[in-house]
Structure 1
Amino acid sequence: MHAVEFQEFGGPEVLHVTEVPVPQPGPGEVTVDVAYAGVNFADVLARADGYRVPALPFRPGLEVSGRIRAVGPDVEGLHPGQQVAALTPHSGYAEVVVAPAATVFALPEGISLRTAATLPTVLPTVQGLVHEVGRLRAGETVLVQSAAGGVGTVAGQVARLAGARAVYGVVSRPEKAQEALKYGYDEVFVGDGFVEDVRRATGGRGVDLALDPVGGDTFRRSLDSLARFGRLVAFGNAGGSAPWQIGQPQLNPRGLSVGGFSVLTLAQDDPEALRVLAADAFRLVASGGVELPITAEFPIERVGEAHRLMDTRTTTGKLLLRVAGE
């Protein structure tokens, strides 16, 4: 079968499509004939910087959709031919992938395989951010960094469905603001001056919940955007800055809280909790309550082009690799 791998860290040119043996499922595993694979920023970090890469050569890819090819021993509730979405430890850029059965999700009626490839990372992440860690309550206000990205476009919609009184976004470019406004946002701010924008929009109060995948100075500005008793949830460090540090001097005066979330760590440590988040989130898509925009699709042979596009930081929504297609 064909799979994408890299043998050294670097730019998109290190990605190569190669011929590898078809994997077989072990106990508690299934193999999936891949229709589509999601392209995530974590894949770019793996290729460029070795993020979560235990050894080389390495096959990237964290989420796929397709049909179950085979099931291993001790697997219940899944069967060959079943249409699924799967969160994979890696190796998602391939014609066949092996995945733990605990992170393979049968598709509800009405979700296409193309849409399904966008679900395993984004939807559970947003559910965790908004409901579990962020504990959003009806009538509260929300600020979302990278509002035009895959998580951002969904977070605006989910926050709105959860009863948020106002949802604000932050993007890096004006053209991204127009895209984000399609997905539940009341107002979208451009650039690093968003603290002042938030204060203006909220009458000086600030927001109750801020979601930040960027880190560094953006994290600190997000903290400054919070109202009294506000919560900030960090779920990435896309800016590449040193890990943030925060303590009593910053939190105590206004009663602020800071939390974190990682869907990949949750999948590894508590897959049953992930299944609960995924089931709730998938229902939102199946019912039409949430839309996941797919802004670009590439055949697997052009994986380098997908990574070059993501490297520009100009993308919105989700990027996909088409493997077998529908």
Structure 2
Amino acid sequence: MAKALLCKGFGPPESLVLEEVETLPLGTGEVRVAIKAAALNFADTLIIEGKYQEKPPFPFTPGMECAGVVTELSEGVRHLRVGQRVMALSAKGAFREETVVEAGAVLPIPDGMDFATAAGFPVAYGTSHLALTDRAQLQAGETLLVLGASGGVGLTAVEIGKAMGARVIAAASSPEKLSVARDHGADEVIDYAAEDLKARLKELAPKGVDVVFDPVGGDYFDAALRNMAWCGRIITIGYAAGRIPQVPANLLLVKNCAVLGLFWGAYRKHNPQRLGQSLMELLAMWGRGKLRPHVSHALPITDYAQAFHLLSGRKAAGKVVLTLV
């Protein structure tokens, strides 16, 4: 038996329950991991409320990524060993004391990286990396606008964009959040709670923005689209503002720009090789000191409701992580 956070019906975080459940069976090509930390993502807040594009059958355990120690390997798994510290993408849910994952979704944690940092590494960095490399094809010297720049995904886009040689403009909703973005490499900042985003962009990028990284949507997407440079690219990641924007096709024509989507989770199905390659590239960047993951809150799993509210209420900068003893 092992404790797991269960969603038995769509609702707020308080509707979740922490219960003892049967341990998961170990299948062919799988690894059993004793979880030490598991990170929240904005998608988790949508999943438990029934607002995500995927709706698992009840009861289910939320959580997409975790870090811990390998306790058991199925026959044929060669790249891992029992006792090894690992990070993993968990299709069966990460908010539990132990889980079983496909061996291909497990990576060793590099020396010097703690469990909380490792737990929040794959999804946020992986999303930003594939968005800026594969989809936007960001080039050195281009101007990159990151909306929601202090969030779990946005902050990684600031770091990766800077590492790729872009001029990074970070936009967020408070001076405190923008201070974090500056500390992680932003060249310019915009407080869109106090400043007009469209007007400030015209000041900071008179010729327009080459690439927009947008996990927010709503009015911020609209303002960014109207400030695109010739041949600019806007990457839609998510809709934290609540409104899914509608794209006026005439603006795409006039500006010769493109709106591209990035659903990182779909790479596991459609291009797992590229997903793994991307994560290895990111770990190499971390090893060279190019990335500095930021965990703003690490809470025990018993405080799961507080953790969810920190994320959904946009009160966190960087990642929110649940810890397990």
Interval containing the TM-score (normalised by the shorter chain):
over 0.9
Partner of 1:65: 67
1:280 equivalent in structure 2: 281
Q: Which runs of 5+ in 1 are unaligned?
A: none
Following superposition, the deviation at residue 90 of structure 1 comes to 4.2
Aligned to 1:304: 305
Note the C-alpha offset of 1:50: 4.5
Aligned to 1:129, which of 124, 128, 131? 131
Partner SS, residue 183 of structure 2:
coil
Answer whether contact 1:111 1:286 (CA < 8 A) is retained.
no
Which residue is equivalent to 1:153?
155
Native 8 Å contact 1:7 1:58 kept in 2: yes
CA offset at residue 74 of structure 1?
4.3
Are the counterparts in 2 of residues 103 and 271 from structure 1 also a CA contact under 8 Å? no
**Matched residues in 2 for 1:238 and 1:141: separation?**
23
Aligned sequence identity (%): 32
Q: What is the correspondence of 1:60-209 to structure 2 with a 5 Å cutoff?
A: 60-164=62-166, 166-191=167-192, 193-202=196-205, 204-209=206-211
Q: State the match for 1:33 in structure 2.
A: 34
What is the deviation of 1:246?
4.9
For residue 271 of structure 1, what is the aligned residue in structure 2? 272
2:213 to 195, 204, 211: 211
CA contact (8 A) 2:147 2:213 kept: yes
C-alpha contact 2:298 2:323 (8 A) present in aligned 1 = yes
Matched, 1:322 2:323: yes
Normalising by structure 1, report the TM-score. Answer: 0.93
Counterparts of 2:50 and 2:173, CA distance in 1: 23
Instruction: Give the distance between the partners of 1:230 and 1:136, measured in 2 at CA.
Output: 10
Contact 2:299/2:322 (<8 A) preserved: yes
Aligned partner of residue 140 in structure 2, secondary structure: coil
Residue 14 of structure 1 and its aligned partner are, at CA, apart by 0.7
Give the AA of the match of 2:8. Answer: Q
Q: Deviations over 1:100-124 (max 9, x none)?
A: 2221112233322221111110121
Provide the aligned length of Structure 1 versus Structure 2: 321
Whole-Å Cα distance in 2 between the matches of residues 189 and 32 of structure 1?
42
Under a length normalisation based on structure 2, what TM-score does the superposition of the two structures give? 0.94
In structure 1, C-alpha distance between the alignment counterparts of 2:324 and 2:258, rounded to whole Å: 43
Query: What does residue 23 of structure 2 align with?
Result: 22
Whole-Å separation in 1 of the counterparts to 2:80 and 2:31: 8
The residue identity in structure 2 corresponding to 1:201 is: L
The whole-number CA distance in structure 2 between the counterparts of 1:11 and 1:162 is 39
Describe the superposition over 1:51-88 as per-residue Cα deviations: whole angstroms up to 9, x where unpaired. 22221112100000011122224433122222111111
Kindly indicate whether residue 72 of structure 2 is the aligned counterpart of residue 48 of structure 1. no
What are structure 2's unaligned runs of at least 5 residues?
Answer: none
223-232 or 184-193, larger mean C-alpha shift? 184-193
Larger CA deviation: 266-275 vs 12-21: 266-275
**Contact 2:233/2:258 (8 A) holds in 1:** yes
Partner deviation per Cα, 1:172-223 (whole Å, 9 max, x = no partner): 2333222222111112112272121111012x21111110012233222221
Q: Could you tell me how far 1:143 is from its partner in structure 2?
A: 0.1
Instruction: Report deviation, 1:240.
Output: 2.8
| SS of equivalent residue, structure 1 residue 197 | helix
How many angstroms does 1:42 deviate by? 0.9
Task: Name the amino acid aligned to 1:222.
Answer: A
Hey, what's the Cα distance between the residues in 1 that align with 2:180 and 2:164? 21
Could you report, residue by residue, the CA deviation over 1:33-56 in whole angstroms, capped at 9, with x for unpaired residues? 101000111111111234222211
Deviations 1:144-179 (A, max 9, x none): 010011122221121111111x21011123332222
Other-structure match for 2:251: 250
Question: What is the SS of the residue equivalent to 2:220?
Answer: helix
**Paired amino acid for 1:111:** M
Report the Cα distance in structure 1 between the residues aligned to 2:251 and 2:59, rounded to whole angstroms: 43
Query: Contact 2:197–2:220 at 8 Å: present in 1 too?
Result: no
Instruction: Give the SS at the match of 1:84.
Output: strand
Structure 1 contact 108–283 (Cα < 8 Å) conserved: no
Compared CA separation, residues 246 and 264, structure 1 to 2 (3 A)? farther
SS in 2 for 1:122: helix
Kindly provide the amino acid, as one letter, of the partner of residue 142 in structure 1.
Answer: L
